[in-house]
């Protein structure tokens, strides 16, 4: 049997095969999307969670295709569904979060500690000029029952800059007396962004009172000392009880190790 000339293959069979291959690929893509839709929008929470976790493993490009459904899942009654959805959407990066900032702002007030914290972490990565208009929302989050959420709100306010810290200094100062030591430390770090000339007298008073208290967390005391040292240009006259009731030590600026960075919980 004679072979088919190459030019015949190019002009007849190949386009047909390509058309069929494109049709098959299109059908597969459509079926793939239908399966994701069924899994993400179904009533079974476990299946939905498994589907979101699979998306996370596949990476941002796949997550982006299902972003509209994931945004809907942020309002799901199931805590783990909301948690998985916000983790997936946070992976899309700061530009995407900036374009969809409203649901993330709403999640700051989520009753679940982890969800609120993840949303705050995503927001604090945005440029401060985008966050400044939402400073009041971060201030409100200082009352969140979760210590992690309160820390995130303090970090957001300090990240916006001195103007936001000065405007909302009263509730920030109040957090120096928070029951959680990490929140107390975050409050001291937030106050450190204020220039010396803008430090309210009540802030200095509250910081000194924290040193005079029986706070046993050394990180809190170190952060308070660093903030006072920055505000006063000298910590030579600050006397602190290293071990309350045992001895007094004069701590100078040279013994302080600046860090200025709040430790954040991994997500």
The tens digit of pLDDT for each residue in 189-214 reads 999 999 888 888 888 889 988 888 87
pLDDT of residue 210: 87
DSSP state of 2: P
pLDDT of residue 197: 80
CB atoms inside a 10 Å sphere around CB 8: 11
Distance of alpha carbon 149 from alpha carbon 170, whole angstroms: 18
DSSP state of 10: I
Distance of alpha carbon 51 from alpha carbon 54, whole angstroms: 5
pLDDT of residue 91: 94
pLDDT of residue 22: 52
pLDDT of residue 31: 44
DSSP state of 108: T
- Six-digit token string for 155: 């970090």
Distance of alpha carbon 197 from alpha carbon 194, whole angstroms: 8
- Six-digit token string for 70: 């994931």
Distance of alpha carbon 189 from alpha carbon 184, whole angstroms: 9
pLDDT of residue 239: 45
Nearest to 227 by CA among 202, 212, 207: 207
Distance of alpha carbon 149 from alpha carbon 141, whole angstroms: 7
Report the b/e string of 183-202 with b at 16+ CB within 10 A.
bbbbbbbbbbbbeeeebeee
pTM of the model: 0.67
Helices (H), the chain: 6-8, 14-41, 45-58, 60-65, 67-73, 79-90, 94-99, 101-107, 113-124, 128-131, 135-141, 147-160, 162-167, 169-174, 181-191, 201-212, 218-232
pLDDT of residue 128: 83
Average confidence (pLDDT) per 10 residues, the chain, 267 residues = 49 50 48 61 85 89 90 92 94 93 92 90 88 91 91 91 92 94 94 87 89 81 89 52 34 33 36
Nearest to 187 by CA among 266, 105, 262: 262
At 177-192, the pLDDT tens digits run 999 999 999 999 999 9
* Measured CA distances, 203 to 33, 97, 136, 173, 191 (Å): 55, 34, 20, 6, 8
């Amino acid at each position: 049997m004679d072979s088919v000339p190459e030019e015949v293959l190019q002009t007849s069979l190949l386009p047909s095969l390509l058309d069929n291959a494109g049709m098959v690929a299109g059908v597969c893509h459509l079926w793939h999307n239908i399966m994701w839709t069924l899994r993400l929008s179904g009533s079974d929470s476990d299946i939905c969670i498994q589907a979101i976790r699979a998306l996370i493993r596949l990476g941002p490009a796949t997550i982006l295709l299902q972003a509209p459904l994931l945004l809907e899942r942020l309002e799901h009654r199931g805590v783990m569904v909301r948690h998985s959805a916000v983790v997936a959407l946070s992976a899309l990066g700061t530009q995407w979060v900036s374009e969809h900032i409203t649901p993330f702002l709403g999640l700051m007030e989520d009753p679940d500690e982890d969800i609120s914290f993840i949303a705050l972490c995503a927001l604090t990565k945005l440029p401060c000029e985008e966050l400044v208009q939402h400073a009041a929302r971060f201030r409100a989050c200082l009352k969140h029952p979760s210590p992690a959420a309160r820390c995130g709100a303090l970090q957001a306010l300090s990240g916006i800059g001195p103007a936001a810290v000065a405007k909302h200094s009263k509730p920030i100062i109040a957090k120096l007396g928070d029951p959680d030591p990490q929140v107390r430390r975050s409050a001291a770090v937030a106050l450190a962004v204020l220039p010396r000339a803008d430090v309210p007298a009540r802030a200095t008073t509250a910081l000194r009172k924290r040193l005079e208290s029986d706070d046993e967390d050394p990180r809190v005391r170190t952060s308070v000392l660093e903030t006072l040292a920055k505000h006063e240009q000298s910590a030579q006259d600050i006397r602190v009880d290293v071990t309350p009731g045992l001895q007094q030590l004069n701590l100078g600026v040279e013994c302080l190790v600046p860090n200025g960075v709040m430790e954040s919980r991994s997500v």
